[in-house]
Amino acid sequence: MAGLNLKKKLWRIPQQGMVRGVCAGIAHYLDVPVKLVRVVTVLSIFFGLAFFTLVAYVALAFVLDPMPEGAANGEAEPTSSELLDAVDAELTAGERRLRDMERYVTSDTFTLRSRFRQL
């Protein structure tokens, strides 16, 4: 249990999978080779767990989300606080640009230039 990363999420990996990427996703989550998960799955079918294995596989195929493109390369998804910080920074920059624009539009320079354009 100590080896499992609690922040990991179980995904399907259709790019690496043979059928919907369920075994590939389980292997990635458990940090084991995909072939090992496939062998265990096939052996469970032959040793009397066929119904359970097939139902679980079909359920996981529809319940699990596919892995995003960047997640396989080790790129972590941004947390909600990181996303909020990024949005806050963007809004702050937009507000600064808007203030600069308002300052220019209400300035004497803008009034003078617009009067010259009207001539």
Please state the domain extents for the chain: 1-76, 78-119
Return d(Cα 77, Cα 86) in angstroms, integer.
Answer: 14
Predicted pLDDT of residue 10:
86
Return d(Cα 28, Cα 13) in angstroms, integer.
Answer: 9
- The H or E element containing residue 79 is none
Instruction: Enter the pTM of the model.
Output: 0.54
Q: What is the mean pLDDT of the chain?
A: 84
Q: Report helix, strand or coil for 66.
A: strand
pLDDT tens digits, one per residue of 67-116: 877 665 655 667 788 889 999 999 999 999 999 999 988 888 888 888 88
Answer whether residue 32 shows pLDDT above 50.
yes
- As given in the structure block, the two tokens for residue 43 are 């052996």
pLDDT tens digits, one per residue of 3-22: 444 467 888 888 887 888 89
Answer whether residue 36 shows pLDDT above 90.
yes
